[in-house]
């Protein structure tokens, strides 16, 4: 049922041409690239938001494969735990271009060379909590690597909207996986990390 609602919502979202909120309205630009990074000896951090747990699974897989540190973004005012309610909350925020305030920023963000940024696909863009992190955090000069879990809508605008908010950062090709498939995504995550030069 949840999956069905997602699919219907994705179609409605696309048809309505929802803007991607804060991300879309940002005028900054980043670089969408598939360039390979030389990451040996680089300090890496996985930053993610997960409402239902799927994005957390991928974040943990990236941590396990790379040895990166990990930081979970938490909403300052938690979203409803009810699916239909959070869908409406998210829609309202995204339509208005709002970010959703977060409890804390990762400590020592400045020390990291590579920052993975993970989000669920919410109305075809990043969750407003992730937009809050990107708005507050200075990622200039770093390598930013997006990853996304979704309910059938794929990457949609998530990667492009993350890149837009990472002015001055180098960005590597992101990864998207259906939330239903996260538990078995390990080999795909490994291949992706190899393809962008993060691991051998
Ligand atoms: C508020 C909200 C909006 C969503 N919008 C979409 C969408 O536009 N397209 C899509 O494919 N999935 C959508 N989904 C489904 C989630 O992207 C998917 O279930 C994801 O794996 C959830 O990650 P999480 O468990 O880390 O929160 C939405 C889910 C929620 C709660």
159-189 pLDDT, tens digit each: 999 999 999 999 999 999 999 999 999 999 9
Q: Which residues lie below 8 Å from residue 47, measured CB to CB, with a gap of 6+? A: 70, 71, 73, 106, 115, 116, 117, 118, 133
Rounded Cα distance between 191 and 195, Å, is 6
Distance from the alpha carbon of residue 150 to the mean position of ligand 1, in angstroms: 5
Q: Which residues lie below 8 Å from residue 55, measured CB to CB, with a gap of 6+? A: 48, 49, 118, 119, 120, 147, 148, 149, 179
Output the pLDDT for position 40.
Answer: 74
Categorize the per-residue pLDDT at 26 as very low, low, confident or very high, splitting at 50, 70 and 90: very low
Determine how many CB atoms are found less than 10 A away from the CB of residue 35. Answer: 12
Q: Does pLDDT of 16 surpass 60?
A: no
Pocket of ligand 1 (CB under 6 A): 6, 9-10, 13, 50-55, 86-87, 90, 120-124, 149-153, 179
Q: Does pLDDT of 10 surpass 80?
A: no
Q: Does pLDDT of 1 surpass 90?
A: no
Do residues 124 and 158 make contact, with C-beta atoms less than 8 angstroms apart?
A: yes
Maximum CA extent, the chain: 45
Distance from the alpha carbon of residue 94 to the mean position of ligand 1, in angstroms: 13
What integer is the mean pLDDT of 148-163?
98
* CA-closest residue to ligand 1 atom 17: 150
CA 57 to ligand 1: nearest atom: 26
Mutate to test the pocket of ligand 1, among 87, 122, 129 (most ligand atoms within 8 A of CB): 122
CATH superfamily assigned to domain 2-195? Flavodoxin domain (3.40.50.360)
Distance from the alpha carbon of residue 122 to the mean position of ligand 1, in angstroms: 5
| Nearest to 166, CA basis, from 23, 45, 2 | 23
Output the pLDDT for position 114.
Answer: 98
Burial class (CB in 10 A: 0-12, 13-18, 19+), 197: middle
Provide the mean pLDDT of the chain.
87
* CA-closest residue to ligand 1 atom 7: 123
Q: Does pLDDT of 135 surpass 50?
A: yes
pTM of structure: 0.87
């Amino acid at each position: 049922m949840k999956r069905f609602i997602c699919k219907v919502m994705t179609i409605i979202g696309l048809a309505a041409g929802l803007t991607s909120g804060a991300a879309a309205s940002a005028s900054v630009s980043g670089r969408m690239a598939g360039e390979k990074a030389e990451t040996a000896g680089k300090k890496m951090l996985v930053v993610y938001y997960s409402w239902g747990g799927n994005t957390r699974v991928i974040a943990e897989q990236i941590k396990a494969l790379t040895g990166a540190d990990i930081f979970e973004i938490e909403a300052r005012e938690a979203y409803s735990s009810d699916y239909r309610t959070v869908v409406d909350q998210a829609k309202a925020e995204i339509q208005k271009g709002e970010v959703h305030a977060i409890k804390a920023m990762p400590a020592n963000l400045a020390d990291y060379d590579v920052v993975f940024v993970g989000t669920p696909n919410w109305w075809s863009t990043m969750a407003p909590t992730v937009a809050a992190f990107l708005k507050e955090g200075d990622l200039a000069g770093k390598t930013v690597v997006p990853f996304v879990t979704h309910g059938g809508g794929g990457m949609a605008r998530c990667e492009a909207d993350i890149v837009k908010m990472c002015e001055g950062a180098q960005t590597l090709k992101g990864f998207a996986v259906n939330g239903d498939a996260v538990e078995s995504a390990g080999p795909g995550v490994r291949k992706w990390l190899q393809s962008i030069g993060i691991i051998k």
